[in-house]
Structures are given as structure tokens and as C-alpha cells.
Structure 1
Amino acid sequence: MRWLLALGLILPTGVFALSDTDSEARQAGGGASPYLSFCQQRFYEEEDGRLLCNWAVNFNFACFVSYPSNKVIQAGSKITDAEVVGECDNGEPIIKIMHY
């Protein structure tokens, strides 16, 4: 019976301590998580601080989108340079970048 009482007193304190820590971590980091974007290498172009391509959320979609999209990624948000990660069935190279 005493262990239930002790657990009842300790558990709520631990929950509040965790929520304060999470809140502080979010405020300290203050930013969004990075994204991975994929596209066909032939469409990749840097123009006026913008990255243009047929951006897709994964490798497979990048193979099926055969024209440049309206999605624009700001060049300043790029974390990694474009890197070839494979080829579609038709031999088209697919690149990826990590960005905010």
C-alpha cells in the first residue's frame, strides 16, 4: 500500500518535469526539422537564389514526375549539396538534397 502512495506522489512530479524539459528544448532549438527532397538531375537548376527541379518526397515519385514542378526551394535553406542517389528504370539519375 505504501508503494502505491509513493508512486502516486512521484509520478505526477516526473510528468511535469518532462514537459518542462521538452518545452525548453523546443524553445532552445527553435527551428524546423530538415527535409529530404529528390528530383531528376536534368531538371536541377539554381537560379536567383532558388533551387528549381521536379521536387518529390521520395526517390520513386521523382522517377514518375517528368516535368519541373512549381515547388521552389530557397538556396539558403540547402544543408547538403545535390548528390546522385540512383537511377530510374529509364536510366535517369535521381539526386537528393537536405534542406530546411
Structure 2
Amino acid sequence: MRQWLLAAGLILPVAYSSGENSVLLLEVEGDSPTLSFCQLRFYEEDEGRLLCNWAVDFRYACFVPYPRNKILQAGSKITEPVVVGECDNGEPIIKLLHY
């Protein structure tokens, strides 16, 4: 019973929020930013596309030896690529925040 009351207590303030808060909640909806990693030597911006061996984390970016078919749109870029480290073989890895 306690768990149900706790859950109801967490949900009710959102359900009965004022008009201002509900507008704020609607503005937040949509795609969340994504962080992608790739080897610096493969990063290329070409005609509004961002090409690279995109991976979901730093470790996988070291093991993908060639550019993949995953292409990001240049307009989805939130931050510029930043070198965040290097693989065991010395290859620099960049990260990019995008939609």
C-alpha cells in the first residue's frame, strides 16, 4: 500500500500542474540529444552530412575500423566534435552531441 501512495504522490503533482507548467512540459517533449563517438580520421562533413564510424560509446569507436552507413545530418549537431581520448593504438576519438 505504501508503494502505491508514494507512486500516486509522485504522479499527482504533474497531473494537476498549472497551465504554465504544462506548457513547459510540452516544450520539452521530442527527441533527446544523443552522444556519439568516432575515430577522428574518419570524421568528415560533406554536403550537410556528418560521416564517420559512429559508435554509441568510446570503447566501440576504437573497434569499428571503417566508416559505417550511419550518417548524421549536419543540422542535428549541437556541439562541435571534441577529442576525448585515444585508443590503445593511439587513434584519437571524438565525441559529438547531436539530435
Give the TM interval when normalised to the shorter protein: 0.7 to 0.9
- When the two chains are superposed, the root-mean-square deviation of aligned CA atoms in Å is 2.4
Q: Identify the residue that residue 39 of structure 2 maps to in structure 1.
A: 40
TM-score, normalisation: structure 2: 0.79
Name the CA shift for 1:92/1:16 in 2 (closer, same or farther; >3 Å): same
Counterpart selection for 1:16 from 12, 17, 23: 12
Name the CA shift for 1:14/1:65 in 2 (closer, same or farther; >3 Å): closer
5+ long unaligned stretches in structure 1: 1-7
Runs of 4+ aligned residues of structure 1 deviating over 6 Å after TM superposition are: none
Query: For residue 42 of structure 1, what is the amino acid of its counterpart?
Result: R
Following superposition, the deviation at residue 26 of structure 1 comes to 3.4
Name the CA shift for 1:20/1:63 in 2 (closer, same or farther; >3 Å): farther
Name the CA shift for 1:18/1:83 in 2 (closer, same or farther; >3 Å): same
Q: Identify the residue that residue 3 of structure 1 maps to in structure 2.
A: none
- 1:52-99 Cα offsets, whole Å, 9 max, x none, are 000000000000000100001100010000110000000000000100
Q: Percent identity?
A: 60
Q: Distance in 1 between matches of 2:26 and 2:45?
A: 33
5+ long unaligned stretches in structure 2: none
Q: Does 1:90 align with 2:93?
A: no
Q: Does 1:64 align with 2:66?
A: no
Query: For residue 75 of structure 2, what is the amino acid of its counterpart?
Result: G
Q: How many residues align?
A: 90
